[in-house]
Structure 1
Amino acid sequence: MSYLEDPGPGRGSLPPRAAFTSDAPSLSLNGTWRFRLSPSLAAAPSGIEAEGFDDSAWDELPVPSLWQLHGHGRPAYTNVPYPFPVDPPHVPSDNPTGDHRLRFDLPAGWPAGSAVLRFDGIDSCGRIWLNGTELGVTQGSRLPSEFEVGPLLRPAGNVLVVRVHQWSAGSYLEDQDMWWASGIFRAVTLLARPDGGIGDYWIRADYDHTTGLGTVRVETRPDVVLDIPELGVTAHPAGEALELPVEPWSAETPRLYEGTLSTAAERVPVRIGFRTVTIEDGQLKVNGRPLMLRGVNRHEHDPRTGRVVSPETALADVLLVKRHNVNAVRTSHYPPDPAFLELCDTYGLWVIDECDLETHGFEPLGWAGNPSDELIWAEAYLDRMRRTVERDKNRPSVILWSLGNESHTGENLARMAEWVRHRDPTRPIHYEGDHDCAYVDVHSRMYATHEEVERIGRKDDDNARRRELPFLQCEYGHAMGNGPGGLLEYRELFERYPNCQGGFVWEWIDHGLAADGHFAYGGDFGEPIHDGNFVIDGLVFPDRTPSPGLAEFAKVIEPVRIEADASGIRVSNHYDFVDTGHLTFTWVLEDEGIAVAEGVLEVPPVLSGQSTVVSRPSLPATSGESWLTVSAALTSSTAWAPAGHVVGWGQLAVSEAPVAAPLPPRGPVFRTGGRLVLGAGEFDPATGTLSALGGHVVTGPRLDVWRATTDNDRGTFAGRPDADQWREAGLHRMQHRVIAVDADGEELVVRTRVAPPAQPFGLFADYTWTAFDDRLRLRVEVTPDGEFPGTLPRLGLAMAIPGAWGSAEWFGGGPGEAYPDSRQAARIGRFSSSVEGLQTPYVFPQENGNRTAVRWAALTAPDGAGLRIDGDPVFDFTARRWTAAALEEARHTDDLVPGELVHLTLDVAQHGLGTASCGPGVLPRYRLVPQKTEFTLWFRPVPGR
């Protein structure tokens, strides 16, 4: 059998071991290699392993890299389907093959003897030669492979050759909802291995929370000694257990002790975190305390280099998640670069370390032939698990091992679990696909509805094994496009039921690839089979700009909650371990969004899981609607954020808006020059539509119910998509019929019916305009006519104003966008932005930018002229330089071309977001059902300077 179609784990490599550095010489072989891509193995050149092979005409390629992102072929994206025929273990003959060659010299003084050549990642299969001798074949793309090369090395002129194939039998185990791309994408390193050196080690560092004692014992060769200077440990025999008082490691207090393991031949720096993971009383605990996992799933991705992620980018991820209150990462769906886990140790994150395994493409086939239950794949499964555990066993941040993802179930997975349980009984086992929980230690689900989570929390389950286990949502809150909605309700369930211990939002980053003017997704590279923009489902955009979804998640999971209480201000500590002594609480009083007083709020340290109530500060009188905002911020800088970084905040209403002054007399409606004039407004006498305000041409406002659909509106996970129902109902092409325009006296009353073509239902919309000096009051009455088949996207008005009015200021919810089921991050204040700045540049354009609970908003030109709109009491608004129809038609951000007008929507209600792109739809309380509605807005021209 060809090595390409061998279902085994590869050949020739050394037994797996921990990832670590030492004082032994090492040589990075990263850099510029010679490269040639062939369409198949048959078309690839022969004899490339020969030292004298002439590669001078070949291209150059950086290593690490994925060759498709350097102009050699094209990447392809699928979520579930394999992009090749499902005929395991066979792969197509048309199998892109990339040959890599490197000539290198050893540094002066390189020692004779053993040396190891380490590849941290080759996708999907590599055949390797050094100086003409074959070393072996790798499989398991995101796992290390090491080869003994000492006898083959020479001081100069070494020739390393790696033939990499895009497809191999291992590709059937690597269907992980990401770009298919190939190459040597992680580091290549030559490691000298001194005689008497430390080949491997395992630091067992436990913590007894009842005594405060840590126990450390190192499994390694017998002559190794351990030094931990800070603990006074010197030359301790590594194999002997040592018990001593220590500070424990946790994600909140990532205490690491620097030390060394050494023999006469080699010194290895180590960083020891003492912690103990248990499952007790149906809960996942660390150091005796139950955890609440506020996590994200993280694929490795860079918009320019794909799965080649630099140390700087990995650090940026860790800092960004920490600054947004995230405390856990699931390494979906493979072990990350080992440097990332070192960062998790350093900065403090709980980690579910996932094996490099997914066979999702067998699901559409009824799981027929799935490798998880086929004996010929057993060794490959075990090999991948061994390499995961052995590589990462010394990481205190890793608290669960995951067998993989979406590979159904079968004996091979059970064997993996059995091996892990024997090898490392100190960490529980996770795997969502074991729905009966026969061989795992935690009950895991993905995209469980709120109702299902509640049933699990109540232990309403006929499976006794599941009832006794802690429950995690390994994936939920699908962050695709505008959303996710419903995160608050998930948090409330996690906090209500002790066995429900949080979960991991899918996912951290949009996997867009940098293209000319936009980010590309599935189908943009001509793939015949692809899953479109389903790869764009992150809390941060491809360039790692936080999305509104991340701001919402950070607010929902904030570790300190500040709320109004009948006795003052309640401060609740939702950290798992630490008290609030490291935080400073400050307050600011704002009068209609303008700060008028501020100070420090004295809050005694609140223990984990506890709350306290403190008195409100003494506040000055205010003349308008005023709010007290209390923030909890870091008192001192940490490794991950500066002093003053806010980890939680709350708002308390102080005073309502003053009672409005009596209205002046109403102005009359009169006709002049074929127009209707009412106060500052001019109206079309035939339609009753406002056509000018304060001498400036405007269009509308008219009743409007359509919004550019979101990924969640179009999602099929929860059943029939809302967007399909809306389009079938014709809500995107509503037509207006004027029934009457009554322009007598002091009111302009316009009666209309707004309805879709070919349908018997619609909405009666009555507009009543009244003038008071320079202000126009519009009262809108909406009455459903006939039986609507479902929900509305939104309900409000649409109008267009001059394009020069491109600056927005408002008093209400902000600073970012908000929707009914995703509005926790919006605070009441006064904000300003350009119209351009109001847009959220979702990679796949869609409804965005809604500002909620707005008391008033002004759109103005540089000279100050413009329009002010007041709510009675509040409204939502968006402002864009394109229509909703143009937004609906766009497929990339650069499809949106600014027009000459600013298009406003002024809404009384929006349909929620939900997560139906992959998860539950909009919860009933957030569904916009047609019903009789009245709302009032005030319009006033703003004079220029």
Structure 2
Amino acid sequence: MSTAPWYEEPSPGTGSLEPRAWFAASDARRLSLDGTWRFRLSPRADSEDTSFAASGYDASGWAEVAVPGHWVLQGHGSPAYTNVRYPFPVDPPRVPTENPTGDHLRTFDVPDAMSADGEVLLRFDGVESCARLWLNGTELGTFMGSRLPHEFEVGALLRPRGNVLAVRVHQWSAGSYLEDQDQWWMPGIFREVTLLHRPPGSVGDFFVHSPYDHRTGRGTLRVESAVPGRVLVPELGLDLATGGSALIPVEPWTAETPRLYAAELVTPGERVALRIGFRTVVVEDGLLKVNGRRILFRGVNRHEFHPETGRTLDLATMREDLVLMKRHNINAVRTSHYPPHPAFLELCDELGLWVIDECDLETHGFEEVGWRGNPVDDPRWTPALLDRAARMVERDKNHPSVVLWSLGNECGTGQGLSAMADWIRDRDPGRPIHYEGDRSCRDTDVYSRMYASQEETALIGRHEDTDGPGERARLPFLLCEYGHAMGNGPGGLTEYQDLFETYERCQGGFVWEWIDHGLAHPELGHAYGGDFGEELHDGNFVCDGLLFPDRTPSPGLVEYKKVIEPVRFAGDGTAGTLHITNCHDFRGLSHLAFDWSYEVEGKAVASGPLAVPDLAPGRSVELRLDPPPVADASREAYWTVRAVLAHDTPWAPRGHEVAWSQFPAVPRPALTPATGTVPVRQGHRVTLGPAAFDCRTGLLTELGGIPVDGPRLDVWRAPTDNDAGASWAPEEQYARRWRELGLDRMQHRRYGVELTNSHLVVRSRVAPAASDLALRVTYTWSADGERVRLTMSVTPEGPWTLPLPRLGVRMGLPGAYGQAEWFGAGPGEAYPDTRRAARLGRWNMPVDAMRTPYVRPQENGARAEVRWAELRDGQRGLRIEGDPEFWFTARRWTSEELAAARHLPDLVPGDRVWLNLDHGMHGIGSASCGPGVLTEYRLRAEKAEFGFVFGPLAVTR
């Protein structure tokens, strides 16, 4: 019988050195082996031919690939996306014989100074999924653990010129069973390859211990080092022998105040640059505390992703991610579901973010087979699990930003996880441990859940949840995933944040996730699952981020920034009172400047600074606003107050807005009636003021010379990803249920057109085929000399149980009417449960800019609380006023065309601008992988009355 190949063994590999601490810079030499490598792809992994690894092998006929990089993004094979299911038979530790295998070759020279004395290490920072290595024909070893570093001692094999490094990478290995992490499967050498010179007496492994005592304001510094040396901290006047300790007054490190002290670790052969942050993390009194204070995570989950390079990210992209997070009030990152590039954590230290560092481990696909054979409960796999835990902890242990270790994600339970937890606690007792998948919390220091509803989160906050009481009840609670940001959404973030700020035990959460994983595609724009012909795939479930693939913030990120802002305003704009609360965990308000403006119908008429004291965290103050500078009851007015950065920071300039709020001062006046004009009938045409109607259909056809389609009742919207819901919650699958009812194919039957001395009244019944449910609609039109008014009355017939997608009217204008202006909430889209970030103002933009480019097209672009809107073609225009305020959507395709599109290029602009003017809109929720729309945001089918006033405009500006 043949033995299994090495890559089918449940072991970490052979030949790698013991893991050690990472550092960004030292005075020892290093040589990057990144760049262009020769490459050959084979469809199978069972080749015994290793002749390519020998010196002198002629690879001139091979292709070339960039390293770091994924070969499937460079024209060799294709990426594949699955969320849970393994894309191969579940037969651990075996993998398919048809196993794409990439042979890589790199020829390089070694500087004389690097090979003069000491050792030379060959370091790989990330290879998916496993690698076998040769240098100058000699095999070095093998390794698994795709997102973890591996080093090999190679000094004795190097020569000054013409070194040949050969790497065989298999797409699938036993390690793949541990890396089922809801992302694209993309093999390759995707992080850096480096030669590191280790002179005699150079720095080995080291561990910086720097706890902070908040009661005394002092920090303790002790550095364990495998090679004795000294630690120099010039700013603190410290010259400390390794192994010794010093107790000194320091400023602590927090995510809000990321104070780092520049230092050096000096051994006889090397000087390593350090940045030391003093802080202490404990679970105490049922709370997770840093430096003695409860912290609140305003976090995101972050996969490493770039639409063109996959998981290969450069330093500028990592910094861009963190700058965007800080600018959107995000203070925490869970590194789902593997340790990130080590430089990312260096940036978290510098810029200030709390980090849950997660092990390179997920076995979610075993859930599909009832968790049979799950590696985390099979002792054969325990060495591999411990190796992954050790490589994470040893690499990242010196980062003050890392406040929790996470054992992994969605692995079920088992003895392997317990072994990992025991090892981590022994090695680093100064950090608590996180893991979500075990409700007993036997191996964790926090109680963590995914997608618990707002109702359940409240029960947990009150210690009233009954599912598994015991030790768990004494632990702080985190939502390691919530607010599934797939497509339009997520909704309901405000209600979660209210709970986090109400119940001490609920210490925040991490929105899933940071960025849409849409791969750049020449025809599709951005590709998702199934676009590469995968046998199994999970569609656009990979596009569930707060950023679009090009790193443009989505409306969901703008909403999240508003929901989690660290300063709260409340007040009464009429009385001129303002209540301000500091919601920071550690810092006061001295880093912020405050201002106010008084705005009338969307235009600021006065503004000025606002004097706010330097409140301590959690404290509040009440201030008086100056009397309104304009007292005019005929025009709507309101106050806007803001908190902005008072000084430049490493992540945003002075004046960057951190928080804001608005308070009404003068309410909107009532609309003046549009009546008094008598309708005139001529054949099939009825004129009423500036409007013309077809009396056979009752539809408006012309307004002030502008051809018009409609308006008529509309209840359909192109389903969002959250409308589609998740497979495990059929009651939240509104898109399916709406289609089954027929809301996407409503039929309009006119059954009455009546002319009176002052009105045109049209009665209609709107209903789907094969159902006796219906909506009775009465359109009542009146006019004065310049305007026409529509009053709508809608009455449901039958036992409606489903909410409606929307309730309003749809109408079409000629395509030339492509410039929109409105007074209402903006500038971006908003829906009933995603409207916190929309501020009242006067906004102007092209219709083409009003859409939100979700990777999979769906309902988007609604503007909330609109008082009036105008559409212009440069010469003429149309004004629409709402009674009451309305939801305003304008785009160049219908909802039906939007619903039929799979990718943005499918949407071809037509010759009409289609308007939706909605009285009501169903909420968004996060049912694609979380709770559905909360009851208060569901649009019930019930009697409704609303109206609009339309009038032509002469455009002079």
TM-score calculated relative to the size of structure 1: 0.99
1:709 corresponds to: 719
Q: List per-residue Cα deviations over 1:406-455 (Å, max 9, x = no partner).
A: 00000000110011111100000000011111110000000001111011
1:642 corresponds to: 653
Q: Is the 8 A contact 1:30 1:64 kept in 2?
A: yes
Task: Spell out the pairing of 1:578-657 with structure 2 (5 A cutoff).
Answer: 578-623=587-632, 624-657=635-668
2:215 corresponds to: 210
Q: How many residue pairs were aligned?
A: 942
Q: List per-residue Cα deviations over 1:510-548 (Å, max 9, x = no partner).
A: 000000141000000000100000000000000000000
Q: List per-residue Cα deviations over 1:537-570 (Å, max 9, x = no partner).
A: 0000000000000000000000011121567111
CA distance in 1, matches of 2:187, 2:230: 42
Q: List per-residue Cα deviations over 1:666-700 (Å, max 9, x = no partner).
A: 10011125301100110011111101101111011
Aligned to 2:263, which of 259, 264, 271?
259
1:381 corresponds to: 385
CA distance in 1, matches of 2:671, 2:547: 43
- Amino acid in the other structure paired with 1:520: A
- Structure 1's unaligned 5+ residue stretches are none
Q: In the alignment, is residue 276 of structure 1 matched against residue 280 of structure 2?
A: yes
TM-aligned CA deviation for residue 606 of structure 1: 1.3
- Amino acid in the other structure paired with 2:21: A
Q: Is the 8 A contact 1:99 1:161 kept in 2?
A: yes
CA distance in 2, matches of 1:660, 1:829: 19
Q: Is the 8 A contact 2:337 2:409 kept in 1?
A: yes
- Amino acid in the other structure paired with 1:714: A
TM-aligned CA deviation for residue 461 of structure 1: 3.5
Q: CA RMSD in A?
A: 1.1
Aligned to 1:18, which of 9, 16, 21?
21
TM-aligned CA deviation for residue 664 of structure 1: 6.9
CA distance in 2, matches of 1:375, 1:682: 80
CA distance in 1, matches of 2:592, 2:392: 38
SS for the counterpart of 2:721 is: coil
CA distance in 2, matches of 1:36, 1:727: 49
- Amino acid in the other structure paired with 1:533: N
- Amino acid in the other structure paired with 1:803: G
Q: Is the 8 A contact 1:38 1:44 kept in 2?
A: no
Q: Cα 1:660–1:77, aligned 2, differ >3 Å: closer, same or farther?
A: closer
Identity of aligned residues (%): 59
TM-aligned CA deviation for residue 802 of structure 1: 1.1
Aligned to 1:35, which of 19, 35, 39?
39
CA distance in 2, matches of 1:602, 1:596: 20
Aligned to 1:478, which of 454, 473, 484?
484
Q: Is the 8 A contact 2:807 2:920 kept in 1?
A: yes
Bigger CA drift: 222-231 or 84-93? 222-231
CA distance in 2, matches of 1:625, 1:55: 75
1:828 corresponds to: 840
Q: List per-residue Cα deviations over 1:312-341 (Å, max 9, x = no partner).
A: 100000000000000000000000000000
CA distance in 2, matches of 1:248, 1:494: 25
Q: Is the 8 A contact 1:115 1:149 kept in 2?
A: yes
1:63 corresponds to: 67
CA distance in 1, matches of 2:724, 2:499: 27
1:225 corresponds to: 230
SS for the counterpart of 1:306 is: coil
Q: In the alignment, is residue 6 of structure 1 matched against residue 1 of structure 2?
A: no
Q: Is the 8 A contact 1:372 1:412 kept in 2?
A: yes
TM-aligned CA deviation for residue 44 of structure 1: 7.6
TM-aligned CA deviation for residue 155 of structure 1: 1.0
- Amino acid in the other structure paired with 2:451: Y
Q: In the alignment, is residue 573 of structure 1 matched against residue 582 of structure 2?
A: yes
Aligned to 2:200, which of 183, 186, 195?
195
CA distance in 2, matches of 1:637, 1:399: 27
Q: In the alignment, is residue 171 of structure 1 matched against residue 182 of structure 2?
A: no
Aligned to 1:327, which of 324, 327, 331?
331
- Amino acid in the other structure paired with 2:855: V
Q: List per-residue Cα deviations over 1:11-63 (Å, max 9, x = no partner).
A: 10000001113211111111111111111123585311101111111111110
Bigger CA drift: 667-676 or 395-404? 667-676
Aligned to 2:923, which of 912, 928, 931?
912
Q: Is the 8 A contact 2:813 2:914 kept in 1?
A: yes
CA distance in 2, matches of 1:380, 1:222: 28
CA distance in 2, matches of 1:942, 1:88: 71
Q: Is the 8 A contact 1:713 1:917 kept in 2?
A: yes
Q: Is the 8 A contact 1:807 1:859 kept in 2?
A: yes
Q: Is the 8 A contact 1:813 1:827 kept in 2?
A: yes
1:549 corresponds to: 556
CA distance in 2, matches of 1:44, 1:520: 36
TM-aligned CA deviation for residue 617 of structure 1: 2.3
CA distance in 2, matches of 1:500, 1:745: 63
- Amino acid in the other structure paired with 1:264: P
Q: In the alignment, is residue 743 of structure 1 matched against residue 755 of structure 2?
A: yes
CA distance in 1, matches of 2:113, 2:684: 96
CA distance in 2, matches of 1:763, 1:149: 78
Q: Is the 8 A contact 1:796 1:909 kept in 2?
A: yes
Q: In the alignment, is residue 861 of structure 1 matched against residue 873 of structure 2?
A: yes
Q: Cα 1:697–1:56, aligned 2, differ >3 Å: closer, same or farther?
A: same
Bigger CA drift: 35-44 or 335-344? 35-44
- Amino acid in the other structure paired with 2:497: R
Q: Is the 8 A contact 1:44 1:97 kept in 2?
A: no
Q: Is the 8 A contact 2:382 2:416 kept in 1?
A: yes
- Amino acid in the other structure paired with 1:867: L
2:149 corresponds to: 144
- Amino acid in the other structure paired with 2:678: P
- Amino acid in the other structure paired with 1:907: D
Bigger CA drift: 200-209 or 221-230? 221-230
SS for the counterpart of 2:413 is: coil
2:679 corresponds to: 669
1:46 corresponds to: 50
SS for the counterpart of 1:581 is: coil
SS for the counterpart of 1:713 is: helix
2:884 corresponds to: 873
Q: In the alignment, is residue 805 of structure 1 matched against residue 817 of structure 2?
A: yes
Q: List per-residue Cα deviations over 1:39-98 (Å, max 9, x = no partner).
A: 112358531110111111111111000000000000000000000000000000000000
1:443 corresponds to: 447
Q: In the alignment, is residue 529 of structure 1 matched against residue 539 of structure 2?
A: no
TM-aligned CA deviation for residue 222 of structure 1: 5.7
TM-aligned CA deviation for residue 109 of structure 1: 2.1
Q: Is the 8 A contact 1:113 1:151 kept in 2?
A: no
Q: Is the 8 A contact 1:718 1:921 kept in 2?
A: no
TM-aligned CA deviation for residue 719 of structure 1: 3.0
Q: List per-residue Cα deviations over 1:587-645 (Å, max 9, x = no partner).
A: 11111001111100111111101111111123211441011100100000011100000
Q: Is the 8 A contact 2:307 2:550 kept in 1?
A: yes
Aligned to 2:164, which of 152, 159, 162?
159
SS for the counterpart of 2:322 is: helix
Q: List per-residue Cα deviations over 1:774-798 (Å, max 9, x = no partner).
A: 1111100000011124111000001
SS for the counterpart of 1:48 is: helix
Q: In the alignment, is residue 467 of structure 1 matched against residue 473 of structure 2?
A: yes
SS for the counterpart of 2:886 is: strand
1:726 corresponds to: 738
2:503 corresponds to: 497
Q: List per-residue Cα deviations over 1:102-157 (Å, max 9, x = no partner).
A: 11001242233311100000100100011111111010000000001111111111
Q: Is the 8 A contact 1:591 1:622 kept in 2?
A: no
1:457 corresponds to: 461
Q: Cα 1:655–1:49, aligned 2, differ >3 Å: closer, same or farther?
A: same
Q: Is the 8 A contact 2:674 2:789 kept in 1?
A: no
Q: Is the 8 A contact 1:284 1:291 kept in 2?
A: yes
Q: List per-residue Cα deviations over 1:480-532 (Å, max 9, x = no partner).
A: 00000000000011111100000000000000000014100000000010000
Q: Is the 8 A contact 2:361 2:409 kept in 1?
A: yes
- Amino acid in the other structure paired with 1:320: L
2:953 corresponds to: 942
SS for the counterpart of 2:211 is: strand
